[in-house]
């Protein structure tokens, strides 16, 4: 799992906060592990593990999502099943408590792959998902983040992990969080991947990032890997990053680690930054990033949990 890549530096982190991050990542990994152990599918594990991060105010997804320019929380998510290559995604929703579950409902209960805005919300309502008042997503820290972003640059959208923004020197140290994601492999050998995000602080124009774009921020294929990205979304879309990783494995026989390195390098060369997690059909894990840190963790078949933050 990942909880976002960015300029996460030890010197900006309080010990209490670091503990909170580690504990929440651990809880999410344990939740996914328990689902798999009880015989549930990789899709189930991805979904319930992401719920833990979506329900936490620490991560930029669900509760804890950053604010748009207009002071709203607009959420994106996607999920993909590596066995059937079925996928579901939602973009720009404001009242769905757990966007990852809405993405799964799109995959399983509609003929579509992607829905946006009000339409996606109407669908989620019909599908019986938990809806909340938009105020549910308010957190003081994110609100302050928006105010700083607005003050800093009233014209230009600021990426919460943007190096240019960093250069401006006034960014809230908590801007760096991004997207959360999970990939899992179950007993039946099926891979799944999911990603959920609040996008960029101060985003405008109903911008859609890479998280809900199948092939960009989210992709799963039993023949190759399950992949979830976190970073400067525009570059993930332009490099079709998650699918490119899969294609390198499929067509060049690269390992998941080598393919991960190459796609992060390609994306970085264009000027982007961020990270990814990938898990192949043999349980090989890659966690690559070109930022200072990435909240990340793994749980192995025997239940061993590892969580890391810095490079």
Cα–Cα distance measured from residue 253 to residue 175, given in angstroms and rounded to the nearest whole number: 37
User: What is the distance between the alpha carbons of residues 199 and 180, in angstroms, rounded to a whole number?
Assistant: 10
- Taking CB under 8 A as the rule, does residue 13 contact its own copies? no
117 binds its own copies (CB under 8 A): yes
Q: Alpha carbon of 48 to those of 30, 95, 181, 244: distances in Å?
A: 10, 19, 11, 27
In angstroms, what is the minimal distance from the CB of 158 to its own copies?
A: 9
- Whether 179 is a known active-site residue: answer yes
Nearer to its own copies, 25 or 149 (CB): 149
Dist. CA 247–CA 260, nearest whole Å: 11
Q: Does 21 bind its own copies (CB under 8 A)?
A: no
Question: What is the DSSP annotation of 106-168?
Answer: HHHHSS-SEEEHHHHHHHHHHTTPPB--GGGG--HHHHHHHHHHHHH-SSS---TT-HHHHHH
Task: Give the separation between CA 79 and CA 41, rounded to whole angstroms.
Answer: 13
Residue closer to its own copies (CB basis): 78 or 299:
78
> In which element (H, E) is residue 28 found?
helix 15-37
Among 10, 17, 37, 118, binds its own copies (CB under 8 A): 118
Q: Which of 29, 61, 66, 216 binds its own copies (CB under 8 A)?
A: 216
Position among 79, 248, 263, 309 found at the interface with its own copies (CB under 8 A):
248
Q: How far is the CB of 11 from its own copies (least distance, A)?
A: 29
Give least dist CB 100 to its own copies, A.
17
Q: Cite the active site residues.
A: 179
Site for its own copies, rule CB under 8 A = 85-87, 91-92, 110-120, 122-123, 156-157, 159, 204-209, 213-216, 219, 233-234, 237-240, 243-244, 247-248, 251-252, 270
């Amino acid at each position: 799992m990942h909880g976002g890549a960015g300029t996460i530096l030890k010197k900006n982190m309080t010990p209490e906060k670091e503990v909170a991050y580690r504990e929440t990542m651990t809880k999410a990994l344990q939740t996914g592990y328990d689902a798999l152990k009880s015989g549930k599918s990789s899709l189930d594990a991805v979904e319930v593990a992401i719920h833990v991060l979506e329900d936490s105010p620490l991560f930029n997804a669900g509760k804890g999502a950053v604010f748009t320019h207009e002071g709203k929380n607009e959420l994106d998510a996607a999920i993909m099943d590596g066995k059937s290559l079925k996928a579901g995604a939602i973009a720009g929703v404001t009242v769905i408590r757990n966007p990852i579950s809405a993405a799964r409902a799109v995959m399983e209960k509609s003929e579509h792959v992607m829905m946006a805005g009000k339409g996606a919300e109407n669908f989620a309502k019909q599908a019986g998902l938990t809806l909340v008042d938009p105020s549910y997503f308010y957190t003081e820290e994110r609100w302050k983040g928006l105010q700083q972003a607005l003050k800093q640059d009233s014209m230009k959208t600021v990426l919460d992990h943007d190096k240019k923004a960093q250069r401006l020197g006034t960014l809230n140290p908590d801007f760096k969080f991004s997207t959360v994601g999970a990939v899992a492999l179950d007993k039946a050998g099926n891979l799944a991947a999911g990603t959920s995000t609040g996008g960029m602080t101060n985003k405008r124009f109903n911008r859609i990032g890479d998280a809900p774009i199948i092939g960009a921020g989210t992709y799963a294929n039993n023949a190759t890997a399950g992949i979830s990205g976190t970073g400067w979304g525009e570059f993930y879309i332009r490099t079709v990053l998650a699918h490119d990783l899969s294609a390198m494995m499929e067509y060049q026989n690269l390992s998941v680690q080598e393919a991960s390195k190459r796609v992060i390098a390609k994306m970085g060369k264009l000027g982007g930054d961020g990270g990814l997690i990938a898990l192949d059909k043999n349980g090989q894990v890659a966690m690559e990033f070109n930022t200072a840190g990435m909240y990340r963790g793994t749980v192995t078949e025997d239940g061993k949990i590892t969580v890391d933050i810095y490079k």
